[in-house]
Structure 1
């Protein structure tokens, strides 16, 4: 029994993080490269949900207005979700007829986005966060795949160019891993979802976002629900910063896990391989098994203790686990950042897995996060 638990708890995490992308890599020769037809200028509505983003909103609007993409029409909507700082004032201070500022009561990000979309006139909705910045060609690169009518949504690529001295090193490396995985999903036509930092969706596909879900996942999966593809556009880049503090990393992963599982519950129809084929398998692997894998690490460790006398293999795996946890704990306790980078990377992995485990427990208990405060994750 201990051996069964050990191998089950080992194989599922290995599949989720390594086996799944390697399987996609092996399948790529079977899929022809997607041709990208030329796209005519589109009418665009850029939606920026903001809560207490006074220090960021001005620069964000300037970078959106400075895009080299010549839209047929451009509309920018700032939806302030009950901000208590000067977000609304700063947004209104940028005088441009293309900008519309909504001073909404506090209702949560989903409510703010739904209210903003009701005001949108563009054929394409572009969602982006207030605290990241675009390159000059980001919008044009993002919209290029929409010349293909089978493409319903496009996902941009988040870059953390200057990791800090703490856990943001792991944050940056994780973004590289996610980029690799999304390239494989994109190549095999099963791109799962988009990051809320930058995503585009055909307006006719939009469905109102329920409370408590991860808005980026729900919005981008409006495309596969309608039988359309999500396309990953690596060249459409947004610049962000990592999070060094362990408590902030933990809270973010906890909140994302709860919202992600609630999102999967809302989109459970997409988990049916008989209807959605490879996309459903990708969704199960990328978004479900990965979130469940974190809770298997403790039984893996306990089973390994039980199997200490079963042979040298189990002794080596137990020592490797203990060493990994020891390195991670040392990285967490190294507040002066004097230890080498692998210690901080191990600490990031431990905090991430712990946050996912607590998030899963909160989901099972029915807990949810209706409000959002980006400042808590910076």
Structure 2
């Protein structure tokens, strides 16, 4: 029984991160091979399976009207830069309205927004602070565009961003579109992407080609007005918008040409809190929409939702089961000891990275405090060796900390906590 629990836990961890994308690649490969035997299927594959970026081939007058909604709460330090960035967007001005949805800001955010009213920027202020989605709901009700585009204050867009993301809606099967994420440094230069971000973008690309996305980037996404009619004020808007699209028979796609640039959060503790809050909000949406896990009604998407979201959010429990069952097996029979040692090493390297990088343990063990020259030399060698291990240990640390945040989110959910209110992250 213990061995079954161990191997099942290991399998579920592997499936959540590697099995699911492998299945998507297999489905895509099968369809491409199958299309070789039929010219009709080849045409269908090009038009409906690969989902290339779509562009409007219309005149200026035929372009869809767009409402660009920026959600803000106490953003007096950044809102002006965001407004200037939004005014520079390359989209016909008579077809684009810019709305700032203020979640009852208590600083000078609203005054700054109103100073741009002559430039066409409109303020929609929530009468009381009830959270991001509530502020967005007020903006949605006040908007008039056929396509609604949502963005955070911290997200910087290129001039062609609206054109690119809106162009996807020329495909009538698309209900919502997600951008791709890029990190920028403090000087505004595109910095290296983390392995997790690259993995997520890779997975979104696969999902887009095979069927539909399972989630959107909350910092920059777009949806048809019909998708936003039943807007929930207490559910994570990006995830819920995707689920609303599925419910009315539409799908979500990721557009590699639609990119949102943003700085990473400077404070690691606040980054952990952000992860907990994001997962908690996602769990709340999923629990409210469990019917979407029914494969008889929602087909392939039910499997995608189960694999991408539920399985991923259950990984920390499987990690605990794998460790405990492996420990009990070692105690009872002495077998699987190498596997248990490997687990110990994995978590030890995560702790090592946390101590070295986040706690500056090298300052505590300063060689200046060591009198012996031999010990000083040994310390320097040990420190140099430890620093070389940092890139290796970073992955184990990140994987562990992400799943710790998921675990905390589950505990918070079962305690009845819900992340409705929000604060702008310091970046």
TM-score (norm 2): 0.82
Equivalent pairs counted in the alignment come to 373
Residue 231 in structure 1 maps to residue 253 in structure 2 = yes
Q: Is the 8 A contact 1:258 1:359 kept in 2?
A: yes
Partner of 2:103: 81
Q: Which shifted more, 126-135 or 93-102?
A: 93-102
Structure 2 residue 61 is matched with structure 1 residue 61: no
Question: Does 238-247 or 147-156 show the bigger shift?
Answer: 238-247
Residues 137 and 233 in structure 2, CA contact (< 8 A), matched pair in contact too: no
Q: Do 1:126 and 1:201's aligned partners in 2 also have CA atoms closer than 8 Å?
A: yes
User: Equivalent of 1:358, from 403, 408, 418?
Assistant: 408
Q: Identify unmatched segments of 5+ residues in structure 2.
A: 33-44, 363-386
Equivalent residue, structure 1, for 2:273: 251
Cα offset, 1:365, TM superposition? 2.6
Residue aligned with 2:211, SS: coil
Deviation, 1:116, is: 0.7
Q: 1:69–1:178: structure 2 CA closer, same or farther, 3 Å change rule? A: same
Change in Cα spacing, 1:151 to 1:345, as seen in structure 2 (3 Å) is same
Counterpart in the other structure of 2:9: 9
Once the two structures are overlaid, the 10-residue window that deviates more, 70-79 or 152-161, is 70-79
Select the residue among 346, 353, 376 that pairs with 2:396.
346
Deviation at 1:35, TM superposition (A): 5.8
The answer on 1:34 being equivalent to 2:34 is: no
String of CA shifts for 1:292-346, please: whole Å, max 9, x gaps. 1112211211111122278897222211211111111111112349732333333
The more displaced of 196-205 and 64-73 is 64-73
Q: Does 2:171 align with 1:121?
A: no
Aligned partners of 1:245 and 1:314: how far apart in 2?
A: 39
> Is it true that 1:308 corresponds to 2:358 in the alignment?
no
1:36 positional shift: 5.8
- Larger CA Rg, structure 1 vs 2: 2
1:270 aligned partner: 292
Aligned equivalents of 2:186, 2:210: Cα separation in 1: 31
Aligned to 1:103: 125
Q: Which residue of 2 aligns with 1:189?
A: 211
| Compared CA separation, residues 313 and 278, structure 1 to 2 (3 A) | farther
How far apart in 2 are the matches of 1:11 and 1:147?
Answer: 41
Q: Deviations over 1:328-371 (max 9, x none)?
A: 11111123497323333332222211110111122123221221
SS of residue matched to 1:34 = coil
Residues 146-184 of structure 1 show CA distances to partners (whole Å, capped at 9, x for unaligned) of: 1111111111111114499xxx98x83211110000000
Q: Which runs of 5+ in 1 are unaligned?
A: none
Q: How far, CA to CA, are the matches of 1:182 and 1:100 in structure 2?
A: 33
Cα distance, 1:97 vs structure 2: 4.5
Moved more, 86-95 or 306-315: 306-315
Shift of 1:84: 2.0
Q: Deviations over 1:232-276 (max 9, x none)?
A: 101100111223533223212211222111101222232111111
Whether the aligned pair in 2 keeps the contact of 1:158 and 1:237 (CA below 8 Å) is yes
Distance apart, 1:56 and its partner CA: 1.6
Q: Which runs of 4+ in 1 moved over 6 A?
A: 309-313
1:142 maps to which of 147, 157, 165: 165
Structure 1 residue 209: deviation in Å? 3.5
Contact 2:55 2:164 in 1 (8 A): no
TM-score (norm 1): 0.92
Matching residue of 1:284: 306
Deviates more, 1:18-27 or 1:215-224: 215-224
* Distance (Å, rounded) in 1 between the aligned partners of 2:292 and 2:326: 36
1:192–1:81 distance in 2 versus 1, CA, 3 Å: same
**303-312 vs 229-238, which deviates more?**
303-312
Partner SS, residue 133 of structure 1: coil
SS of residue paired to 1:366: coil
Report the CA distance between 1:65 and its aligned residue.
Answer: 1.6
RMSD: 2.4
